[in-house]
Amino acid sequence: MNKVLLGDVAEEVRDNYKEMDGNPAVVGLEHLIPGEIRLKEWSEDTNTTFTKAFHKGQVLFGRRRAYLKKAAVAPVDGICSGDITVISAKQDKILPELLPFVIQNDDFFDFAVGKSAGSLSPRVKWSRLKEYEFNLPGLSQQRKLAKLLWSFVDAKEAYEDLIRQTDELVKSQFIEMFGDTDNRASLESLCTVFADGDWIESKDQSDEGIRLIQTGNIGNAEYIDKEERARFISDETFDRLSCTEVFPGDVLISRLPDPIARCCIVPDIGRRAITAVDCTIVRFKTEILPDYFEEYTLTPDYALQIKDFVTGSTRQRISRKNLGAVTVPVPDLERQKVFVEIAHQSDKSKFELNEAIKDLDAMYKRIIKDNLG
């Protein structure tokens, strides 16, 4: 195994766009998904101002803000943004199917960040990227390594597809069980507590105490911990501002994007908690199970109602009054319990799949580190 420079085995391609058959794939930085090694999305905008051409099998690297870790192999020919560096393998030195793993890895991104210039929107040039040094085995070993690494990618994508299918199955089960429910009620009428969170200014926050749950902690039917960025208030501040405490089992709805009116159930976080003013606290009466409502917020019926109630052009939101007017189907509790059990089994399956993905990622990165580090 020899140490090589990227510029010894690959080159930047700076071809200008020439007319292609049909509408070419148009790739901007927004189409490069952090951590994804395959390009899966692009547009076919015939009015694009992009002029840089790329071809199937070449690697597209997002040279602006390299810390975002955007790099993917192109499955088609097309044109791309000037903020994308097109990289092609020198095929007598490195296999084209192995090159994406040299680019899409943490060591390379760290190197690219270190060589970037500019404060607000740092960019890195090929003249600096080509200085990246890494281990490269012989061509016969490269074939084995590329085959192994692509098998990891395929397995991960298969697991992710199973997770998507599981979500779709739960959604379809919900519609099948409750789509024809005639009994509906306004959201606010189903609650014992329906109130906004508290206005907590930066000066009132602290590093310990009562947890402040913010809109960023509210995922789409999931609680996102973000423990490393957690903010708190003191007991004294809680009393002084007459804050509203939230409890495990409460539902929090974000009235801001994205998406507007997404919700999560508050888990037991091991301490007292409050929430921010742009979150609505929902504590249901006995007619509605929180898990049932959480799943309802993923349905087209809920999304269409929210869309009708959203206000604002530049900063869209939904008011608490309009949120409270959203109507919710109210089936009997026994049917809700049956569905919740189905959803819990689905969550268990997704958890196991996500754990398998984490294990795959760890092995994948270790193999890259050991063989291409």
Q: Is the pLDDT of residue 19 over 70?
A: no
Question: Which stretch of 41-50, 114-123, 186-195 has the lowest confidence by average pLDDT?
Answer: 41-50
Q: Measure Cα distances from 67 to 54, 58, 127, 298 in Å.
A: 23, 21, 18, 32
The model's pLDDT over 238-277, given as tens digits with 9 standing for 90+, comes to: 999 999 999 999 999 999 998 999 999 999 999 999 999 9
pTM > 0.85: yes or no = no
11: Cβ–Cβ under 8 A, 6 or more apart, which residues?
87, 88, 90
Q: Is the pLDDT of residue 21 over 80?
A: no
Exposed/middle/buried for 63, CB within 10 Å: 0-12, 13-18, 19+? buried
pLDDT of residue 119: 84
pLDDT of residue 262: 97
The model's pLDDT over 293-334, given as tens digits with 9 standing for 90+, comes to: 999 999 899 999 999 999 987 889 999 999 999 999 999 999
- Is residue 214 within 8 A of residue 253, CB to CB? The reply is no
The model's pLDDT over 49-81, given as tens digits with 9 standing for 90+, comes to: 898 999 999 999 999 999 999 999 999 999 999
pLDDT of residue 322: 97
User: Which candidate, 300, 326, 306, places its Cα nearest to that of 318?
Assistant: 306
Extract the tokens encoding 263.
């919700």
Q: Is the pLDDT of residue 115 over 90?
A: yes
The model's pLDDT over 169-227, given as tens digits with 9 standing for 90+, comes to: 998 999 899 988 899 999 999 999 999 999 999 999 998 999 999 999 999 999 999 88
Extract the tokens encoding 321.
């009054």
pLDDT band at 120 (very low <50, low <70, confident <90, very high): confident
Between the two ends of the chain, the Cα-to-Cα distance in Å is: 11
DSSP strand pairing (210-213 vs 273-275): parallel
User: Which candidate, 37, 143, 111, places its Cα nearest to that of 371?
Assistant: 143
147: Cβ–Cβ under 8 A, 6 or more apart, which residues?
none
Percent of the chain with pLDDT over 70: 99
d(CA 174, CA 158): 24
pLDDT band at 17 (very low <50, low <70, confident <90, very high): confident
What one-character DSSP code corresponds to residue 216?
G
Residue with tokens 């016969």: 140
Q: The domain 2-136 belongs to what CATH superfamily?
A: DNA methylase specificity domains (3.90.220.20)
pLDDT of residue 22: 66
Extract the tokens encoding 320.
């608490």
Extract the tokens encoding 36.
């994804």
Task: Specify the long-range contacts of residues 317-320, CB closer than 8 Å, at least 24 apart.
Answer: 317/255, 317/256, 317/257, 317/260, 317/278, 318/255, 318/260, 318/261, 319/255, 320/194, 320/195, 320/196, 320/255, 320/280
Query: Span 8-29, mean pLDDT?
Result: 87
**Fold for domain 182-330?**
Adenine-n6-DNA-methyltransferase TaqI; Chain A, domain 2 (3.90.220)
Extract the tokens encoding 203.
């000066």
Dihedral, 45, 48, 54, 58 alpha carbons, nearest 10? -60
The model's pLDDT over 139-156, given as tens digits with 9 standing for 90+, comes to: 999 999 999 999 999 999
pLDDT of residue 20: 61
d(CA 346, CA 224): 18
